[in-house]
C-alpha cells in the first residue's frame, strides 16, 4: 500500500563519519497534495472521524514500518498551540503509546517524535501533524547529549517559565536564533514514565511556550520541535550507550526566524566550520519570551 524503500541504503561519510540515508523513493513524493487535504476527516489518509491518530508515513525514508505521521486534531486550522486541553492530553497519550509500542520492537533502539510546523521548515501539508521515526540505532546527537549527562539548567537568567514541575529555558549556545528547551524539573526518562498529572502539566507548558513564541512574533511562527527521550535498547544492550541510566526527557523547539518573517540562514562559514554566528542574545530572548 505504501511506497516503502526496498532496503535501507545508509552511508557514512569516510572523513567525518556523518550518517546519510539515501532515499531515492522520496524524490517521487508530491510537494503538495493535488486536491483536498488528506488529513481532514474524509480525506485520503483519514477516512473516519478522529481526534488524534497515528498513521503509517506514505513516503517513509526508512523501511520496515518505522515512520509514522501523527494527526493532532481533526480541525484543519488548529495548531499545537491552540488545541483544547482535552485534545492535548489525548495527543500526549498517543505520543507515549507509540513510543512504547515502537520501542518494544527488537529492531528499534530510539523513538524520535518531531514536528516541522510551517512551510519555511518544509511542512508540505498545513493540517496540524507531527511525525515519528523509530531508528534501529541511537543517532549521534541524542547519544552525545546522553553521554554529556544533559539536564535542565534551572539556575540561570535564561528561564522563560517554571510551572508545575516543568521548566522552559533558552539554551546558552544554540545555532538557531530562537531555541527553547522544556523539561521536567525532576528527572523522568521518557513520556511513557510520566504520570497523568505530569502529562497534564507538560501539555500546559508546551502550549504556554508555543503561545509565547506566537505573541513574541505577532503571528504563527515556523518551528521545528523534537523530543529527546531515553533510548529503547534492550537491557542486554544498554551498556552500549553512555549515560543511559541518567536519561532526562526534554523537548527542543527551534525557529529559523530571527525576527517576524525574517529568516536566518545557516550560511557558508557556519556549514564550513560547524561554528555558528547567532545574532540573537539568548538572555535577551529568554527575557522577551518570559514577558510575552
Q: Footprint of Zn ion on this chain (CB under 5 A)?
A: 37, 39-40, 76, 127
How near is the Cβ of 29 to Zn ion at its closest, in Å? 18
Burial label for 58, CB within 10 Å (0-12, 13-18, 19+), is middle
Residue among 129 and 212 whose Cβ is closer to Zn ion: 129
Phi, psi of 38 (to 5 degrees): -70, -15
Residue among 83 and 280 whose Cβ is closer to Zn ion: 83
Residue among 36 and 84 whose Cβ is closer to Zn ion: 36
Residue among 76 and 288 whose Cβ is closer to Zn ion: 76
How near is the Cβ of 80 to Zn ion at its closest, in Å? 15
CA proximity to 195, closest of 166, 234, 230, 159:
166
How near is the Cβ of 76 to Zn ion at its closest, in Å? 3
How near is the Cβ of 132 to Zn ion at its closest, in Å? 19
Burial label for 101, CB within 10 Å (0-12, 13-18, 19+), is middle
Q: Which residues contact 224 (CB under 8 A, 6 or more apart)?
A: 114, 115, 116, 117, 121, 253, 254, 255
How near is the Cβ of 112 to Zn ion at its closest, in Å? 24
- State the number of CA atoms in the 13 A half-sphere of 222 facing the CB: 18
Residue among 27 and 31 whose Cβ is closer to Zn ion: 31
Amino acid at each position: 500500500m505504501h511506497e516503502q524503500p526496498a532496503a535501507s541504503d545508509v552511508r557514512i561519510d569516510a572523513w567525518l563519519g556523518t550518517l546519510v540515508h539515501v532515499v531515492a523513493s522520496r524524490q517521487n513524493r508530491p510537494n503538495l497534495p493535488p486536491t483536498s487535504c488528506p488529513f481532514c476527516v474524509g480525506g485520503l489518509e483519514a477516512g473516519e472521524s478522529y481526534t488524534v491518530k497515528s498513521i503509517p508515513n506514505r513516503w517513509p525514508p526508512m523501511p520496515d514500518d518505522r515512520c509514522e505521521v501523527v494527526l493532532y486534531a481533526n480541525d484543519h486550522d488548529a495548531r499545537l498551540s491552540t488545541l483544547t486541553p482535552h485534545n492535548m492530553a489525548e495527543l500526549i497519550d498517543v505520543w507515549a503509546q507509540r513510543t512504547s509500542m515502537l520501542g518494544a520492537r527488537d529492531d528499534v533502539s530510539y523513538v524520535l517524535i518531531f514536528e516541522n510546523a510551517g512551510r519555511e521548515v518544509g511542512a508540505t501539508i498545513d493540517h496540524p501533524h507531527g511525525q515519528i521515526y523509530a531508528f534501529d540505532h541511537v543517532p549521534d546527537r541524542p547519544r552525545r547529549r546522553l553521554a554529556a549527562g544533559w539536564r535542565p539548567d534551572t539556575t540561570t537568567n535564561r528561564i522563560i517559565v517554571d510551572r508545575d514541575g516543568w521548566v522552559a529555558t533558552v539554551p546558552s549556545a544554540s545555532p538557531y536564533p530562537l531555541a527553547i528547551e522544556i523539561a521536567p524539573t525532576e528527572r523522568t526518562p521518557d513520556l511513557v514514565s510520566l504520570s497523568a498529572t505530569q502529562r497534564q502539566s507538560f501539555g500546559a507548558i508546551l502550549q504556554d511556550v508555543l503561545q509565547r513564541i506566537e505573541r513574541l512574533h505577532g503571528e504563527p511562527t515556523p518551528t521545528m520541535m523534537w523530543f529527546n527521550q531515553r533510548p529503547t535498547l534492550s537491557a542486554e544492550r544498554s551498556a552500549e550507550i553512555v549515560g543511559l541510566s541518567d536519561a532526562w526527557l526534554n523537548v527542543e523547539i527551534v525557529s529559523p526566524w530571527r525576527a517576524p518573517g525574517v529568516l536566518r540562514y545557516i550560511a557558508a562559514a557556519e556549514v564550513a566550520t560547524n561554528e555558528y554566528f547567532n545574532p540573537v542574545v539568548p538572555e535577551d530572548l529568554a527575557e522577551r519570551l518570559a514577558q510575552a
